[in-house]
Amino acid sequence: METQELKKSVIDDIEARRDELGELSLKIHSNPELGFQEVKAADWLTRYLEENGFSVERGICQLPTAFKASYGKGEPFIAILAEYDALRDFGHACGHNIIATSAVGAGVASRAAVDRLGGSILVIGTPAEELYGGKIIMANRGAFNSLDVAMMVHPGTSDYATIETLACQTLDIEFFGKAAHAAAGPEKGINALEAMLLSFAAINSLRQHIRSTARVHGIITDGGEAANIVPAHSAGNFIVRAMDMDYLEELKEKVLNCFIGAATATGAQLKYKWDEVCYAPMRNNMALAQLFAENMGSLGRSVSLASSGNGFASTDMGNVSQLVPGIHPFVAIADEEVQVHSPEFASAAISDRGVKGMLDAAKAMAMTVVDLIASPEILSNVKEEFEKS
Ligand SMILES: [Zn+2]
Ligand SMILES: [Zn+2]
């Protein structure tokens, strides 16, 4: 009974904040900031949380635009994660303004559950999702260590409670050859571009023998200086993705062998560097996803538990979900044919439908917080599933 009352109060609280949350979302959308430069967004969000009784630590994990806002005391520690970075040239075409404002809305509304029943609600600001995997850096620096649950909602084109994402790591490649006149003395040169082209050929040969869910893709960033000079240097950037970390490691070795083989064949020297940031796949907590789907259902949305059709991207929330029971659901703010990272999606992120999606996401997360704080049994089911899997 108490749970239902609390759920009604968090819904009413968020509904009462419709205008201020909508304004906050619009303000972030109108001032797009790239990863690690989200100074204004972090400032507006932390101020809103502070004004509503949260104690805020700014610049956590030595990242100036990361933050931790907390309310309440002691266990359980339920975290809602906010993203607020934009895309170069496309602004908020991934709709992270919705992620940010739904997180603070849910956090502030969840105070009712904490006031009544105890526990702690945290809103953790996680910068630079798009390019730098901010949460991976934060995870390595211990930001999520003492949490019981972590959740966030991303805007999309259908309502899903779970997401399938791939583990992924970036590889920088350079080949060093020897310049020579391409016609007068080609036998005196070592062709770094040919080493790169041979690497592509080798990867394309490998491609037919890898799992269908894996991905390898790359570009050439330096292919030589002039057609009459044997290229002494070539460079490229590649991404390797797989369903799980074990297969990612296996595939990384196979892909690297393509470059090693090309170096041997051409005599060019290979230099390579795997990015320090390695995206882990999403580990969906199904007990948590179920709660979220039911709460979204009570708001009139039909939420699919399976994630079929939302593709194979990668997100740094994957790394969080490996440490803490977590979910990364999607809320529909546009029609199916609209592509995320497009100007149309950027418009959707401030449309009326976008605001509705943001409010519903906030409500469903706050209701899920109520479930977790009100019922030790529900929380222990969530944690048990995490420990068993
Ligand atoms: Zn994105
Ligand atoms: Zn995104």
Q: Is the pLDDT of residue 1 over 60?
A: no
CA of 341 to the centre of ligand 1 (A): 6
The ligand placed nearest to the CA atom of residue 330 is: 2
pLDDT at 312: 74
pLDDT tens-digit series, residues 321-368? 999 999 999 999 999 999 999 999 999 999 999 999 999 999 999 999
Reading the block at residue 157, the tokens are: 């084109």
Structure tokens at 204: 């394309």
Task: Judge whether residue 309 has pLDDT over 70.
Answer: no
What does the pLDDT read at residue 137? 97
Does 21 score more than 70 pLDDT? yes
Determine the distance separating the centroid of ligand 1 and the alpha carbon of 35, expressed in angstroms: 11
- How far does residue 130's CA lie from ligand 1's centre (Å)? 5
Instruction: Grade residue 306 by pLDDT with cuts at 50, 70 and 90.
Output: confident
pLDDT tops 90 at residue 131 = no
77 pLDDT band, cuts 50/70/90, is very high
Strand partners, 174: 235, 271
pLDDT band at 311 (very low <50, low <70, confident <90, very high): low
Q: How far is the CA of 177 from the centre of ligand 1 (A)?
A: 37
Mean pLDDT for all residues in the chain: 96
Is pLDDT above 70 for 308? no
Ligand 2 mean position to 91 CA, how many Å? Answer: 12
Q: Determine the distance separating the centroid of ligand 2 and the alpha carbon of 122, expressed in angstroms.
A: 21
Ligand nearest to C-alpha 83:
2
Between CA 49 and CA 44 the distance in angstroms is: 9
pTM of the model: 0.91
- Structure token digits, residue 91: 């602004």
Over range 183-204, report the average pLDDT: 97
Percent of residues, the chain, with pLDDT higher than 90: 96
CA of 155 to the centre of ligand 2 (A): 8
Output the CA 17–ligand 1 centroid distance in Å.
27
- What ligand has the least distance to the C-alpha of 131? 1
Band the pLDDT of 313: cuts 50, 70, 90. confident
Structure tokens at 326: 């977590």
What is the Å distance from ligand 2's center to 9 Cα?
A: 30
Please give the backbone phi and psi of residue 308, each rounded to the nearest 5 degrees, phi first.
-55, 135
Cα distances (angstroms) measured from residue 338 to each of 87, 143, 248, 311: 17, 34, 30, 14
| Closest ligand (CA of 155) | 2
Are the C-beta atoms of 107 and 71 separated by less than 8 Å? yes
Cα of 288 from ligand 1 centre, angstroms: 23
Residues 237, 383: Cα–Cα separation, whole Å: 39
Spatial CA neighbour of 286 closest among 183, 156, 381 = 381
Asked if pLDDT for residue 43 goes beyond 90, the answer is yes
Distance 94 CA to ligand 1 centre (A): 5
Q: Is the confidence at residue 68, as pLDDT, over 70?
A: yes
Q: For residue 32, what are the CA distances in angstroms to 41, 224, 358?
A: 9, 36, 18
Q: Tens digits of per-residue pLDDT, 206-254? A: 999 999 999 999 999 999 999 999 999 999 999 999 999 999 999 999 9
Q: Which residues are registered as beta bridge partners of 173?
A: 236, 272
Ligand 1 centroid to Cα of residue 85, in Å, is 9
Percentage with pLDDT > 70 across the chain: 99
Ligand nearest to the CA of 339: 1
The whole-angstrom separation of Cα 75 and Cα 371 is 14
- Closest ligand by atom to 100 CA: 2
